[in-house]
Structure 1
Amino acid sequence: MTTFITQDTVTTKYWHTLEDGRIQCDLCPRFCKLHEGQRGLCFIRKNLNHQVVMTSYGRSSGFAVDPIEKKPLNHFLPGTPILSFGTAGCNLACKFCQNWDISKSREMDALMSMASPEAIAKAAIAHNCASVAYTYNDPVIFHEYAIDTAKACRELGIKSVAVTAGYVCPEPRAEFYQWMDAANIDLKAFSESFYHTITGSHLDAVLDTLKYLKHETSVWIELTTLLIPGKNDSEAELEAMTQWVVEHLGPEVPMHFTAFHPDWKMRDTPHTPKDTLLMARNIAIKNGVRYAYVGNVHNKTGQSTYCHQCGTMLIGRDGYILSDWHLDESGHCLTCGTRCAGVFDAQPGQWGARRQSVRISG
């Protein structure tokens, strides 16, 4: 049960006291060590009265209904609308952050929307959303709020989707993912030097989360890598990454390679060429990844889903709009009968590319 200190501040349980009197937060592998009154790097977790509290429970930077393909998830209820929200702050320090106005916010005034978990679940029903996404910033840091919302959603038959970097400790990870139905994990690169110098985190913890999700849960997972010119887009790194995915996660985990645009602290880095994305997709397919996609560019071939057995286009995509559907009611190819990996309704959704802002109260 969530214990409130104030309307938007709740107690947490993943922390311990150090010998010098500071409190160590044990939610993520950053292990922030906090003096009284001090906030962690994520900003919304704080040492208050000798315990770690979350200071933004029930407060959001906003709500919107998005196409689920925008998360991106291509194999989880395609074509359906998803109610999306986040808070402020982040437990990583990515220099290329493309949601920096939210994830790097140090102003609680950025969290203008107030909504209880029950109100969010009811809003999803009211807007005909099949699922709710915990996104925009990393839901790891609003652990308690996300879990309570996921519980409320599950009671109403609404699915929960985590959009996250996967940088979380094992015990809170297990608690969090028992309430999630799907996740898109941001595999930012495949080198420790990139993770350490550009994101302020470590690769091994993310890989551990990926193996945990694949082999110890029923959560549907897809991976996204934002390819940054000269940083994580070499053929050698993409070879190593895709080979690792097939070996440790299996060939059916979809991979999304998306285009970088200059932002935050990397404004001098150029946009990702489309040819780089297509190269990454080709390397993934060559190494056995059955479902590899390109994103943030217009390319129907690279955004569509194909049967790995006979090559038939199963789900055509033109941006976020579904253009073709060649699956039967249980997700099998209508040409050869091979099952397409994923979670599918009998018929695709028809939401399209719309984005609709939503106000929630209560």
Structure 2
Amino acid sequence: MHEALFYQRIEGNKVVCGLCHHRCRIAAGGRGRCGVRENQDGRLISLVYGRLVAENVDPVEKKPLFHFLPGSRSYSIATVGCNFQCLHCQNYEISQYPGRHGGQITGVGRSPAAVVERAEQTGCASISYTYVEPTIFYEFAHDCACLAKQRGIKNIFVSNGYMTAEVVRHLAPVLDGINIDLKAFSADFYQKVCKARLEPVLENIRLFHELGVLVEVTTLVIPGHNDSENELRAIARFLRGISVNIPWHVTGFYPTYKMLDRPATPTATLVMAREIGLNEGLRFVYTGNAAIAGGEDTRCPGCSALLIHRSGFSSQQLALQAGHCSTCQLPIAGVWR
């Protein structure tokens, strides 16, 4: 049993969880929306501390992070559970596991030391907390991140960006990079498709950037839901308003889970989304889940030199040296070797 962080006791042996913006009020014996934080006699307990259901060595480009130690590997971990209920979740078998299995929790026991040691043994430059929303196993992730930082290993969150501001400020000192899913620019989409709200995600993209964490943003472009020119332009303008250097990944959707009524995203839509982002002033816009020539390459926004060429999850650094374009010496935003 591992006591959770970020909660308050209230009347009637209830607790209020302050981990994410759902701020669940949980009666004794109950759990939050994530299904993995339980009120046990007025104490909020993390049921997934150190109980991993996924441990993989991934290329960092798979997160996706394109401006974070390109070509390196990241030790990627997850537990069951999620605070979203996205109809199109690609990892629903683990993210929705408690709800689909009568509240059951599964996973192999690991300590933070074991995770960091495994990352070192496999030559990983970072640890990624990913596959489900990592905020729901925050206590374990934070303990791993603190130890990893001491060992010179960087930390990455792949997140829906729904944690509270208190959590963002607690996490930022040990977090080096985060990819946040900006799933749409519509409150209605977030409510109907994810069972959540848009505004907290926007606030957290701003806050992580302000706190000096490298932020990249991904939008899965779903036909008929968030693929209009107006909505894509609104996302691009929002990101540009924070920084023109935030990389934006516009990726292709494939039917899955409870969203089987939508077709795969046409290549032309992803090309349009990329062009919108670049025309709105973003310096780095990438296409994903589609074979689009040059769509994953990084070019210098000053002289257009090809800095990094990517094919699949492999990358080749060309005109990038010590975080600068070797042709025109322009600094390129990112975390580089």
**Cα separation, 2, equivalents of 1:12 and 1:88:** 16
Residue pair 1:298, 1:318 contacting (<8 A) in 2 also = no
Match of 1:214 among 197, 209, 215: 209
**Cα separation, 1, equivalents of 2:319 and 2:297:** 11
* Partner secondary structure for residue 136 of structure 2: coil
Structure 1 residue 18: Cα displacement: 3.6
Residue-pair matches, total: 334
The corresponding residue for 2:190 is: 195
Structure 1 residue 16: Cα displacement: 2.1
1:124 aligns with 2:116: no
- Greater RCO (Cα-Cα under 8 Å, separation 6 or more): 1
1:273 aligns with 2:283: no
**Cα separation, 1, equivalents of 2:21 and 2:258:** 23
1:336 aligns with 2:331: no
**Cα separation, 1, equivalents of 2:153 and 2:25:** 37
Match of 2:224 among 227, 230, 246: 230
Match of 1:157 among 152, 176, 181: 152
C-alpha distance after superposition, 1:50-91 (max 9, x if no partner): 121101111111211000000000000000011001101100
**Cα separation, 1, equivalents of 2:12 and 2:226:** 40
Q: CA RMSD in A?
A: 1.3
Change in 2 beyond 3 A, CA 1:226/1:145: same
C-alpha distance after superposition, 1:276-315 (max 9, x if no partner): 1111110000000000000111224111000001111110
Residue pair 1:166, 1:206 contacting (<8 A) in 2 also = yes
**Cα separation, 2, equivalents of 1:135 and 1:190:** 23
Counterpart of 1:69, as a letter, is E
Residue pair 2:5, 2:139 contacting (<8 A) in 1 also = no
1:286 aligns with 2:314: no
**Cα separation, 2, equivalents of 1:322 and 1:27:** 36
Question: TM-score scaled by structure 2?
Answer: 0.96
The corresponding residue for 2:29 is: 37
C-alpha distance after superposition, 1:122-151 (max 9, x if no partner): 111100000000001111111100000001
* Partner secondary structure for residue 201 of structure 1: coil
Structure 1 residue ranges (4+ consecutive) displaced by more than 6 angstroms after TM superposition: none
**Cα separation, 1, equivalents of 2:309 and 2:218:** 19
**Cα separation, 1, equivalents of 2:17 and 2:173:** 21
Match of 1:304 among 297, 305, 323: 297
Question: TM-score scaled by structure 1?
Answer: 0.90
Identity of aligned residues (%): 39
**Cα separation, 1, equivalents of 2:249 and 2:190:** 19
Runs of 5+ in structure 1 lacking a partner? 1-8, 346-362
Structure 1 residue 20: Cα displacement: 4.9
**Cα separation, 1, equivalents of 2:239 and 2:6:** 30
**Cα separation, 2, equivalents of 1:110 and 1:25:** 19
